Amino acid sequence: MKKSPIELINLVFSGLMVLITLAGAIVFLFTDLMSDRAYGNKRIILGVVFFAYAIYRSYRMYTALKKEKEEKRL
């Protein structure tokens, strides 16, 4: 069974969101980019929130793909 264009777009969008949020977490945790606006604990919290959201999106994408594979088997 082929995926519909909407399913492919959702999959690509989810993958891009994971990459963007991981990049944001790395930027806020390990660089001094935008350190004049976000500094101290705000910066660390923002990086942790970005990282947690990336993990959440990855998990949702993984479960959706796993569910789809199980449906194909039936």
**Average pLDDT score over the chain:** 88
pLDDT of residue 45: 93
pLDDT at 56 over 90: yes
Question: What residues make up the domain containing 65?
Answer: 14-73
pLDDT at 1 over 60: no
- Note whether residue 51 is domain-resident: yes
Q: Which of 17, 59, 20, 24 is nearest to 45 (CA)?
A: 24
CB neighbours (10 Å) of residue 54?
Answer: 20
- What distance in Å separates the CA atoms of residue 51 and residue 45, rounded to the nearest whole number? 10
Mean pLDDT within 22-42: 88
- Note whether residue 28 is domain-resident: yes
Q: Which amino acid is at 74?
A: L
Q: How many domains does the chain have?
A: 1
Reported pTM: 0.80
- Percent of the chain at pLDDT > 70 equals 97
- Note whether residue 68 is domain-resident: yes
pLDDT of residue 11: 86
